[in-house]
Amino acid sequence: MANNWTCILIDLDGTIADSAPGITTSLAFMFEELGYPVPSQEELVAYVGPPMLDSFRDRAGFTSVESAQALSVYRRHYIDGNNAHGSDIFPGMAEVLKTLHASGIPLSLATSKPEFPASVILDHANLTQYFRVMAGASIDEIRSAKKDIVAEALTRLTMIGADVSNPVMIGDRDYDIEGAAEHGVPTIYVDWGYGNPGESEGSLAVVSTAEELLPLLLPG
């Protein structure tokens, strides 16, 4: 694999941060608060990664009105309960980000999580310093699909003068692979996240530890 990437886009939930516990806690609260049966923990984890409104529609069967109400309750609990602060960073990822930043390759966050809670997680772990760009979902969720997040990340990188001629994505779900592919961007799949068997299909490579990323990302 030619290690000549000009910029690197990185997913957050399931790739950098183990954010599922905080997310599922707030989801369980939302279901209970609105009088719905609370799904199993396994089912709740499936909500982590895709845009939340999509998950409410596709998994919970909510209408657009119900989804908007659910999103409001979920977000309030997630932010007010400081659940973002409780997200552990996966082993080795802090060192990977530090090393990539030191190499001079521009890094952009590319997450379907809204930018404010995403920045809270990274700030709390002292990782924000390694990113040139922070691209996430818009607060109204109009920009939430991964293909739109990738487009926003590339646009913002271009605006700061970064070379986006040969980007690569790092993620843990098929949504990352498919969204990046919409823009001709290959994805390195990490298997410590929240993906199910088979979701790595179409990825450029699959890694099982953070340390395996650096040889694939740094110039050889």
Which residues, 6 or more positions from 42, have their beta carbon under 8 angstroms from its beta carbon?
A: none
Burial class from Cβ neighbours inside 10 Å (0-12, 13-18, 19+) for residue 142 reads exposed
Q: Is the dihedral of CA 84, 38, 112, 103 positive or negative?
A: positive
Instruction: Work out the average pLDDT over 1-6.
Output: 78
In the chain, domain spans? 7-18+87-217, 20-84
Q: Is the dihedral of CA 193, 204, 180, 136 positive or negative?
A: positive
Say whether pLDDT at 22 is over 60: yes
Say whether pLDDT at 74 is over 80: yes
11: left (phi over 0), alpha (psi -120 to 50) or beta: beta
pLDDT single digits (tens) 113-172: 989 889 999 999 999 999 999 999 887 777 789 999 999 999 999 999 999 999 999 999
Say whether pLDDT at 91 is over 70: yes
Enter the CATH code of domain 20-84.
Answer: 1.10.150.240
Enter the CATH code of domain 7-18+87-217.
Answer: 3.40.50.1000
Q: How far apart are CA 14 and CA 27, in angstroms?
A: 17
Q: Is the pTM of this model over 0.85?
A: yes
